[in-house]
Amino acid sequence: MIRIAIACVLCLGACAPRGKPEPIVRTVTVNVPVPVPCRPDIGPEPEYADSPEALAAATDIFEAVRARIAGREQRQARETVLKAALEGCR
């Protein structure tokens, strides 16, 4: 009986941990989005070809219509630049 008790104590003693376990060190990279203010440089508002002064200076209706068409094309080009700047901020 004593032999069995000694054998059990030795078996349990062999399973005991030897000191503190070593800590496991892992480096983990966490990507966090950081909000950045968007300030695109779109330049100043241009002088359009169909300004009231240019329309008043037109000599006939055909020049006034040409000025209005040119002004519309300039506004469309400006709108394209503004949309591109807004898309860049997203």
In a domain, 58, yes or no: yes
What does the DSSP 8-state code read for residue 46? P
How many domains is the chain built from? 1
Residue from 51, 84, 53 nearest 70 by CA = 51
Which domain range does residue 83 map to? Answer: 48-90
Under a CB-based contact definition with an 8 Å cutoff, are residues 88 and 38 in contact?
A: yes
pLDDT band (50, 70, 90) for residue 14: low
In a domain, 87, yes or no: yes
In a domain, 4, yes or no: no
Residue the block writes with tokens 């030795």: 10
pLDDT band (50, 70, 90) for residue 1: confident
In a domain, 73, yes or no: yes
Under a CB-based contact definition with an 8 Å cutoff, are residues 70 and 51 in contact?
A: no
